[in-house]
Amino acid sequence: MKTPKAFQAIETRDLTYFRDLVPQSAIFIDAENLEKYGHDETEDLQFNPQVVLKPASADEVSKILNYCNARNIAVTASGARTGLSGGALPLFGGVALSTENLNRILEIDERNLQATVEPGVINQVFHEACKEKGLFYPPDPSSWGSSFIGGNLALNAGGPKAVKYGVTNAYVLDLEVVLADGSIINTGARVLKNSTGYNLTQLMVGSEGTFRNHYQSHFSVFVLSKHNMLFCCAFLRLLKPARAVSAIFQGGNHSQWNGVYGTRQLTIP
């Protein structure tokens, strides 16, 4: 088997290129920042990058990736670094490509129940922006107050609402993706039914950053239901809660449980 070519260390000429490309406020080489972007929430692992870049457009991301690809410099996509599987760790040094400055909600289309967001938008910020318009974006990892949509996509995140509503992959219609060589592609379309070619969108979701940078994401969103209730049940035996979930689903249209608590009786075997 062919051994992969070792990555190039960043040299002064590379920093000069990056400085010409992004503003001074979007490039970091100080020890504090290199340390900060050298870890996520995975145990105590630390792999510092040599430089942190915070591009603010797909064009900048594209130029960075194109350059690093040609120079064989390692690039690691970095969201909010709340991941628990080490994906955002710059294992080979090089560039930590932070999406912090790509943090705009570009559109919430109330008529078509769709939204377009950049990867650095915090999940909760997006959720609340949808809520203000009477809409609902369900994926809710417990890290939703800080984790980014781009990171949620890369890890196919989901939380307490996953059983009923599914996780991130259920809501992505299309991704604008910057590939490793800097080219920009769209993976899908803004329609619910799309059978044109392979499903590249779902190939990207859950890819843990291995395909480099996702960019704008088109999501489908729901109309917010009138009632939203979280309730806590105590079970004496471990098997009962699992059976309760099955009983709710088997009891018919579980979405009815949204608004008619008290009118149905649940028998747990």
Ligand X SMILES: Cc1cc2nc3c(=O)[nH]c(=O)nc-3n(C[C@H](O)[C@H](O)[C@H](O)COP(=O)(O)OP(=O)(O)OC[C@H]3O[C@@H](n4cnc5c(N)ncnc54)[C@H](O)[C@@H]3O)c2cc1C
Question: Which residues form the interface with ligand X (CB under 6 A)?
Answer: 40-41, 76-84, 87-88, 99, 119, 141-143, 147-148, 150-152, 154-155, 157-159, 208-209, 213-214
Q: Report in angstroms how near the CB of residue 101 gets to ligand X at its nearest.
A: 12
Distance, in Å, from the CA atom of 257 to the CA atom of 166, rounded to the nearest integer, reads: 16
Task: Pick between residue 114 and residue 216 the one whose CB is nearest to ligand X.
Answer: 216
- Min separation Cβ 97 and ligand X, Å: 8
Return the number of the residue (27 or 87) whose C-beta is nearest ligand X.
87
Interhelix angle 12-21/58-71, rounded to 10 degrees, is: 160
Distance CA 132, CA 124 (A): 12
Whole-number minimum distance, CB 239 to ligand X, in Å?
23
Using the minimum distance from each CB to ligand X, give the nearer residue, 49 or 83.
83
Q: Which is nearer to ligand X, 108 or 139 (CB)?
A: 139
Which letter does DSSP use for residue 170 in this model?
A: G
Residue carrying the six token digits 């070619």: 197
Strand, coil or helix: 1:
coil
- Phi-psi sector, 61: left (phi>0), alpha (psi -120 to 50), beta: alpha
Least separation, in Å, of the C-beta of 200 and ligand X? Answer: 14
